[in-house]
Structure 1
Amino acid sequence: MTKVSIVILNWNGCEMLRSFLPSVIRHSQGDGIEICVADNGSTDHSVDILRREFPSVRLLLFEQNNGFADGYNLALQQVEATYVVLLNSDVEVTPHWLNPLISYLDTHPEVAACQPKIRSWHNQTVFEHAGAAGGFIDRYGYPFCRGRLMEVVEEDGGQYDTICPVFWATGAALFIRLEDYRKVGGLDGRFFAHMEEIDLCWRLRARGRSIVCIPQSVVYHVGGATLKKENPRKTFLNFRNNLVMLYKNLPSDELRSVMRVRCVLDYVAMLVFLLKMQAPNAKAVLEARREYAVIRSSFTAVREDNLKKTVVRIIPERIKSSILWQFYVKRRKHFSQLLNFNE
């Protein structure tokens, strides 16, 4: 049986494949390791390039763009391995990057998933926004990382080089037991893209499985290769999916109070976008809230199932306070300054 299957999801990313796939091939050699590219219905020359320039890579072909979530769900139906790596196409890996991840999960059966340390490809001395040295979440659903609070990204000086339990591992380089992935239902395809890995990790943590960051493994991530940060579509998906994630996973005694506060915070976010002359993003937040109200009931059965299977109600890596309060009022700009998460 295959030990590790590295699965890269591609959609019209032929230049990314040419730039970054060689490092994956070069630094991921070994018995029981396979590299797959799942093509999400590309209309560029991606498939031709893969067949001609990367014949050692296993190719999985889909007829249409299924999004990040269902793209990986479909790909992992065709994979049989102990561990799988969901690896973005814009990630450059480093020598022996897999070894610490494999070794740790081999000796820690309670851990379902992990991630390497993620540095920025553009500036390789600093952490990358989407993952850094492991993800956490606050009471109201705002994600943050060791090495990144809000928009402040720290320089990596080794300050987060300890292996650490986290709430979520980034979908840019998610190393996970295939058995655990399937047992909790994989990524939620209705998210399409954004927040789906946090939702997956929340289900894992609630069911008693652990997630860690292993900074002895390092990769470099471009980030924003598909949708730029200021893209209204990305804003819409982030806000809508975050609300859905909260509804799916929050304990019953928190749901109403958290959602009330989130409503206020979302309208504040709209106002901030307007003040920044970003009307399309403000509109995207409003549309996200409207769509959430429409589709919420379709997630009720999943919510009930999640609550039924919860064995860890209070997850330590989900802080009780607000990261917005910590950042903007307490003026704590670095993760290391959050000495008491829950004050």
Structure 2
Amino acid sequence: MKLALVVLNYNDADNTLKILGNVADYSVFDKVIVVDNASNDDSKIRLKSFCEKRDKIFFVENQENKGYGAGNNVGIFVAKKLGMDLALIANPDTDFEERVIKVVKSVMVKNYNISICAPLVETNDVYGSRENVLKGASCWPMRDFMHSLVENGPICRRLFTKALHYDRNFYNAKIRKVGAVLGALLMVRVEDFLRVSGYDENMFLYGEEDLLSKKMADIGKKTVVVTGYKYKHIHSASIKKSLKSLYSRQKIREESTMYFYKNYLKINLLQQIFAKVFFAFVRLEVIIFGLM
């Protein structure tokens, strides 16, 4: 099976060029696709110049920034046109070894019922521990409305960690079926990704991984993690470059989350009102305590 690397850039040429340099000699990738999401700095010039000198790399320039999902959808469409079977979607602020990607690819090749697969994020904490979860979990269970809402509250998340995440014993197995994986780095089966219409482009940022895994589950396909292999992620480094304010990031998170609740979890009017009130308190938490 042929594998492509898809990297989405927005005003982050430094990190994007770094990841391209890191994978330059990785034979595991048949193609590398760089999508610039209408950057308004010098990213397009720098990336286009770099990519034009390398036959393996394809540079795509979006004329409008419609968000994370829309940008990566373009990358997967290009991967399909290039004859790719699998695609590794990787944020510019990730770092991974070739051997890790080879293992993830092997899992996908051997298990046709798996449509999303990822390694774990490297951490000094025990997986499933409260410290690990609060810093940013690698994966989590599929959540209903109330569990998802609680996870979106900075204080609630800290109070009900055990009810929202897998415990440390969960990670003893080599491969684990999960509800969703962190969107920073995940391998997808191109055919299935396109079958479910990829990311919903009405969600600009945040929550896309939950929805994508839900859509895969709806067609009988699994999302899994490979527990013995890890990658590095400078959490939200790319996002923070374009959205420096915690409050602005929280507003976008709310919009995407509410869209997911209304259109996919089909919450009723009373639940919508409850969620809006809940998010009003979350904004206060963000302002007062600086929590996310």
User: Which is greater in Rg?
Assistant: 1
Equivalences for 1:276-291 in 2 at 5 Å? Answer: 277-278=287-288
Alignment check: 8 A CA contact 2:247 2:287 kept: no
Unaligned runs of 5+ residues in structure 2 are none
Give the stretch that moved more between structures: 242-251 or 92-101: 242-251
Residue 134 of structure 1: which of 134, 139, 157 is its match?
139
Q: TM-score, normalised by structure 1?
A: 0.67
Deviations 1:118-154 (A, max 9, x none): 125xx7988586863322243222486xxxx935799
Give, in angstroms, the shift of residue 268 of structure 1: 3.9
- With CA pairs under 8 Å and 6+ residues apart, which has the higher RCO, 1 or 2? 2
Alignment check: 8 A CA contact 1:119 1:128 kept: no
* Change in CA separation of 1:178 and 1:131 when aligned onto 2, cut-off 3 Å: farther
- In the alignment, the residues of structure 2 paired with residue 143 and residue 205 of structure 1 have an alpha-carbon distance, to the nearest angstrom, of 23
Letter in 1 for 2:277: Y
Residue 49 of structure 1: which of 24, 46, 51 is its match?
46
* Change in CA separation of 1:65 and 1:104 when aligned onto 2, cut-off 3 Å: same
SS at match of 2:79: coil
Give the stretch that moved more between structures: 70-79 or 133-142: 133-142
* Change in CA separation of 1:143 and 1:275 when aligned onto 2, cut-off 3 Å: closer
* Change in CA separation of 1:238 and 1:43 when aligned onto 2, cut-off 3 Å: closer
Give, in angstroms, the shift of residue 224 of structure 1: 1.8
Give, in angstroms, the shift of residue 24 of structure 1: 3.0
Q: Counterpart of 2:121? A: 118
Q: Counterpart of 1:241? A: 256
Alignment check: 8 A CA contact 1:128 1:221 kept: no
Q: TM-score, normalised by structure 2?
A: 0.77
- In the alignment, the residues of structure 2 paired with residue 182 and residue 214 of structure 1 have an alpha-carbon distance, to the nearest angstrom, of 23
Residue 213 of structure 1: which of 215, 220, 225 is its match?
225
Give, in angstroms, the shift of residue 265 of structure 1: 5.3
Alignment check: 8 A CA contact 2:9 2:36 kept: yes
- RMSD value over aligned CA atoms? 3.4
Deviations 1:193-222 (A, max 9, x none): 111221121111122111101123311111
Letter in 2 for 1:38: V
Percent pairwise identity: 19
Alignment check: 8 A CA contact 1:169 1:213 kept: yes
Letter in 1 for 2:20: L
Letter in 1 for 2:8: L
Alignment check: 8 A CA contact 1:10 1:42 kept: yes
Give, in angstroms, the shift of residue 108 of structure 1: 0.9
- In the alignment, the residues of structure 1 paired with residue 16 and residue 276 of structure 2 have an alpha-carbon distance, to the nearest angstrom, of 37
Unaligned runs of 5+ residues in structure 1 are 282-343
* Change in CA separation of 1:22 and 1:143 when aligned onto 2, cut-off 3 Å: farther
Q: Counterpart of 1:150? A: 157
SS at match of 2:85: strand
